[in-house]
Structure 1
Amino acid sequence: MLIIEGLTRRFGERIAVDDVCLEIPRGSFVGVIGRSGAGKSTLLRMVNRLADPTAGRILWDGRDVTALRGRELRDWRARCAMVFQQFNLSGRLDVLTNVLVGRLNQVPAHRSLLRLWSAEDRAIALAALERFDIAELAAQRAEHLSGGQQQRVAIARALVQEPDLILADEPIASLDPRNTRVVMDALARINREFGITVLCNLHALDIARSYCDRLVGLSAGRLVFDGPPDALDADAARQLYGLEADEVVDATPTVPPAAPHVVPFAFQA
């Protein structure tokens, strides 16, 4: 379980995240919603320890993540994979190598620097690409892919880390509606098939309602909503979205795919 206790982050006089407390069981798919600047990205970056909290604690299965340093912190970042809005791929490298970067914590440094990937690592990376229907792109340079394809490569890279938790920071913000569906379906498959906990920052309430089993709403860094999607009423939406509330509440949800049978977390080449 992920436990967030009184998490706060200040930037000078500005409070980006203000005393947030959450408990998130394993296997959840949680949408973090709110307007731009509400503190969603800062919250996820603190969970991954890309940003340090000013106050509060983050616990995973009882272990204090905020106290980790050195190798233990690197291990945590491998177990807590990030998917970014701008993909964070190396455009000049081929797709397979970009995915293999997710295995860096599993191989000796000299092998990774020389790109001496084992047959097992390559099989794991190809299996992840196959899972998202992009294995045929393995030899292409990442810069030649569409936005939706690049984001699926980024999700495959996260998956080969063999994480307990995936943090997706506005993963569909730059995508068209079709690729939005493809990317959200990919995250849903990871959650449902492998039982990996997913925290996904989303601005679009209709998408969040369709894919997430719980919504966490931030406004000016404070937690103002925490509950199932159908419990988000007009008053709570106004707290989150202000003048945009009527538009986001009335939006027609996108129906996600049916949940597949849950299988143990494992890769097959």
Structure 2
Amino acid sequence: MLVVENLTRQYGARRAVDGVSLRIEPGSFVGVIGRSGAGKSTLLRMINRLQDPSGGRILFGDTDVTALRGSALRAWRGRCAMIFQQFNLVGRLDVLTNVLMGRLNHVPAHRSLLKLWSEEDRALALAALESFDMGGFAAARADQLSGGQQQRVAIARALVQEPEIILADEPVASLDPRNTRLVMDALAEANRRYGITVLCNLHSLDLARAYCDRLVGLSAGRVVFEGRAFDLTEDVARDLYGLEAGEVMDDAPGGRAPARAEPQAAVA
């Protein structure tokens, strides 16, 4: 279980995250919602330790994530994969190599630098691409893909890390409705098929309702709502977003996500 205890991030006189406490059950799909500047991205970046907390603790099982340094911290980032709005692919490299970068924590540095990937690693990367209908693009340059295709490659790269948690920071913010649905379906597939816990920052409340089994609402860095998707009423949305509520309650592309299935073993 991932446990966040009184987590705080201070920037001068401003608290981007202010005393957040959460318990995230294994295998859950949790949406983090709120206005821009509410602290959503800062929260996920602290869980991954891309930013250090000013106070509080992050616990995962018996591990105090806030105390990790060096190789132990690198190992945590392997267990806790991060997906960004900007995709963070290397455009000049082919898709397969970009996905294989997710194996860096599993292979010796000299092998990765020389691109001496094992057949097992290649098979794992191809299987991840195939699971998101991207196998046919393995040899294409990453910068030749659409935004939605690049994001699915980024999810495949996260999957080959063999993570226990995926943190997705506004993964569909710059995508059209069709690609939004494809990317959210890919995250839901990783969650359902492999039992990977997903924390996903979302702007659209209807997307959050459609795909997440639990929601956490942030305002000014604090948790002001926590509950199931059907608990997110229009009144709660107005409390969270104020005058912006109508703008973030567009219809979710493609309707509700399919029913959750029992987790299976990860790709191997």
The interval holding the TM-score normalised by the smaller chain is: over 0.9
RMSD: 1.3
How far apart are residue 261 of structure 1 and its match?
Answer: 4.3
2:142 matches 1:169: no
> What is the alpha-carbon distance in structure 2 between the residues aligned to residue 95 and residue 195 of structure 1?
25
How far apart are residue 252 of structure 1 and its match?
Answer: 3.4
Distance 1:162 1:252, change over 3 A: same
Show CA shifts across 1:191-235 (max 9, x none): 011110000000110100000000100011111000011112233
Partner of 1:116: 116
2:78 matches 1:78: yes
Show CA shifts across 1:19-46 (max 9, x none): 0000010001000001111100000000
Q: Secondary structure at the match of 1:122?
A: helix
2:255 matches 1:265: no
Partner of 2:179: 179
Q: Secondary structure at the match of 2:171?
A: coil
TM-score w.r.t. length of structure 1: 0.96
Q: Secondary structure at the match of 2:15?
A: strand
Per mean C-alpha deviation after superposition, the further-off stretch among 235-244 and 251-260 is 251-260
| Residues 169, 201 of structure 1: 8 Å contact kept | yes
Show CA shifts across 1:217-256 (max 9, x none): 001111100001111223321221110124445x434423
Per mean C-alpha deviation after superposition, the further-off stretch among 229-238 and 117-126 is 229-238
TM-score w.r.t. length of structure 2: 0.96
Structure 2 residue ranges without an equivalent (≥5): none
Q: Secondary structure at the match of 1:35?
A: coil
Identity rate, percent = 71
Q: Which amino acid counterpart does residue 190 of structure 1 have in structure 2?
A: A
Partner of 2:251: 252
How far apart are residue 124 of structure 1 and its match?
Answer: 0.2
> What is the alpha-carbon distance in structure 1 between the residues aligned to residue 93 and residue 156 of structure 2?
15
| Residues 30, 213 of structure 1: 8 Å contact kept | yes
| Residues 193, 262 of structure 1: 8 Å contact kept | yes
Partner of 1:237: 237
Q: Which amino acid counterpart does residue 259 of structure 1 have in structure 2?
A: A
Q: How does 1:44-59 map to 2 (within 5 A)?
A: 44-59=44-59
Q: Secondary structure at the match of 2:51?
A: coil
Q: How does 1:83-232 map to 2 (within 5 A)?
A: 83-232=83-232
| Residues 194, 267 of structure 2: 8 Å contact kept | no
Q: Which amino acid counterpart does residue 134 of structure 1 have in structure 2?
A: M
Structure 1 residue ranges without an equivalent (≥5): none
> What is the alpha-carbon distance in structure 2 between the residues aligned to residue 120 and residue 231 of structure 1?
45
Q: Secondary structure at the match of 1:184?
A: helix
Q: How does 1:28-39 map to 2 (within 5 A)?
A: 28-39=28-39
> What is the alpha-carbon distance in structure 2 between the residues aligned to residue 252 and residue 130 of structure 1?
29
Q: How many corresponding residue pairs?
A: 267
How far apart are residue 267 of structure 1 and its match?
Answer: 2.1
How far apart are residue 4 of structure 1 and its match?
Answer: 0.3
Partner of 2:15: 15
> What is the alpha-carbon distance in structure 1 between the residues aligned to residue 264 and residue 248 of structure 2?
36
How far apart are residue 13 of structure 1 and its match?
Answer: 1.2
| Residues 234, 246 of structure 1: 8 Å contact kept | no
> What is the alpha-carbon distance in structure 1 between the residues aligned to residue 8 and residue 138 of structure 2?
41
Q: Secondary structure at the match of 1:116?
A: coil
| Residues 203, 248 of structure 2: 8 Å contact kept | no
